[in-house]
Amino acid sequence: MLQFIKYQGLGNDFLMVDARSSGDDAELGFTPERVRRLCDRRFGVGADGLILALPPRVGGECRMRIFNADGSEPEMCGNGIRCLARFLADSDGDQPGRSWQIETLAGRIVPELQGGGLIRVDMGAPMLEPEAVPTALPMGAAGLPQGVIEAAGEQFTVGAAGMGNPHVVIPVADLEAIALEAWGAALEVHPAFPARTNVHFVQVLSPDHLAMQVWERGAGPTLACGTGACAVLVVCHRLGLCERSARLDLPGGPLLVEWNADTDHLFMTGPAEAVFDAVVAPELWDGGGEMPEPAGAAAAVPEATVAVDCATTCVNGCIRPEACASQEAQDRVAALLASSSLDDLVALATNSLEARTRARVTRHGGSGV
Ligand code: ZDP
């Protein structure tokens, strides 16, 4: 049974899966089709994407993989990495000042827990070389890919930037006047962007205050996009429309973005909140393919690659009892199953869910549910 926790950052919402004690990613079974089913807001749980917290590979503390609601896998996500940091803090009881070295397809990203439920993320440097975005737009006078492109029967004067993932930015006089659905969908797949692109319309309210609307690659209209907010600030600053630091108003709320002149790094600050804990119904998981832990899978996976940490895994709920390397843990699971009624097991699961929720509420200074 797949356990997940739903998190959101400014309404950009994700299913968070703790796979930190897993071995081979492929074994987890998150196929594009299954991700689509889980993220579907009618037939599934519903989310803009799904995030896997995984064991590190290159010296970081944790590795993050993100999947868009359409099943595609982008390189990075801003709101998502704030949600991951909040999840790590919720799980491990971390306090403000704690930061994490997170491995992503866009390189090492460093979120830091702030007070007041905020997370400040070192998003790294923007990518402004056309091939790095990637885009076919030529380098323009402002020092970034620029041009006039046509889509949905309209002409758009655009700038582009990469944050590990591609973004096209269109300054407009009035956000109310844009046709987000029609223009966003057409620009997402414009041939000037070989890997597709995220699309952002921005209105300058003042040199340190911008408002934007988002159409995301692989997710459509969303309430917020963190990598997009960084790309918007970079493009607007290079076009002389704003300062190096600004508040960005998104439909889901504000982000603060600063572009450090010395390090060339962008720093994004905003909230991230847990929404609920849950378990996916086997029917939903099964819908399109075999479960990740079909009987006998243990035999197919060489012992060495599946370092299951029973002490942690069993406490959080065993995910692969048949593949557990530890006979002792297997015996414990078998004894528990043999000596417990279904009601006992359900009560056990409910209690651990309640314990985690109480811990979260207490941490937020609440009096408990
Ligand atoms: O690049 C893409 O395909 C994005 N849809 C990835 C998700 C970006 C995200 N919304 C963000 O906040 O950067 C999570």
Question: What is the position in ligand 1's atom list of the atom closest to the CA of 9?
Answer: 12
Confidence of residue 211 (pLDDT cuts 50, 70, 90): very high
Q: Report pTM.
A: 0.81
Higher pLDDT, 350 or 28: 28
**Is the CB of 188 inside a 6 Å radius of any atom of ligand 1?**
no
User: How far, in Å, is the centroid of ligand 1 from the Cα of 254?
Assistant: 16
At residue 363, the pLDDT reads 55
User: Is 230 a catalytic site residue?
Assistant: no
Residue of 229, 227, 235 lying closest to 249 (CA atoms): 229
At residue 354, the pLDDT reads 65
Give the tens place of pLDDT for each residue, 313-347: 444 445 445 555 566 666 777 887 788 887 877 77
At residue 34, the pLDDT reads 94
**Is the CB of 227 inside a 6 Å radius of any atom of ligand 1?**
yes
Give the tens place of pLDDT for each residue, 130-145: 999 999 999 999 999 9
Place of tokens 């979260």: 360
Catalytic residue from among 39, 62, 83, 225: 225
At residue 360, the pLDDT reads 59
Average per-residue pLDDT in the chain?
Answer: 88
At residue 35, the pLDDT reads 96
User: How far, in Å, is the centroid of ligand 1 from the Cα of 302?
Assistant: 35
Place of tokens 């378990």: 279
Mutate to test the pocket of ligand 1, among 50, 65, 77, 193 (most ligand atoms within 8 A of CB): 77
3-state secondary structure the chain: CCEEEEEEECCEEEEEEECCCCCCHHHHCCCHHHHHHHHCCCCCCCCCEEEEEECCCCCCCEEEEEEECCCCCCCCCHHHHHHHHHHHHHHHCCCCCCECCEEECCEEEEEEECCCCEEEEEEECCECCHHHCCCCCCECCCCCEEEEEEECCEEEEEEEEECCCEEEEEECCCHHHCCHHHHHHHHHCCCCCCCCCEEEEEEEEECCEEEEEEEECCCEEECCCHHHHHHHHHHHHHCCCCCCEEEEEECCEEEEEEECCCCCCEEEEEECEEEEEEECCHHHHHCCCCCCCCCCHHHHCCHHHCCCCHHHHHHHCCCCHHHCCCHHHHHHHHHHHHHCCHHHHHHHHHHHHHHHHHHHHHHCCCCCC
At residue 169, the pLDDT reads 98
Higher pLDDT, 353 or 214: 214
Higher pLDDT, 334 or 33: 33
Question: What is the position in ligand 1's atom list of the atom closest to the CA of 79?
Answer: 12
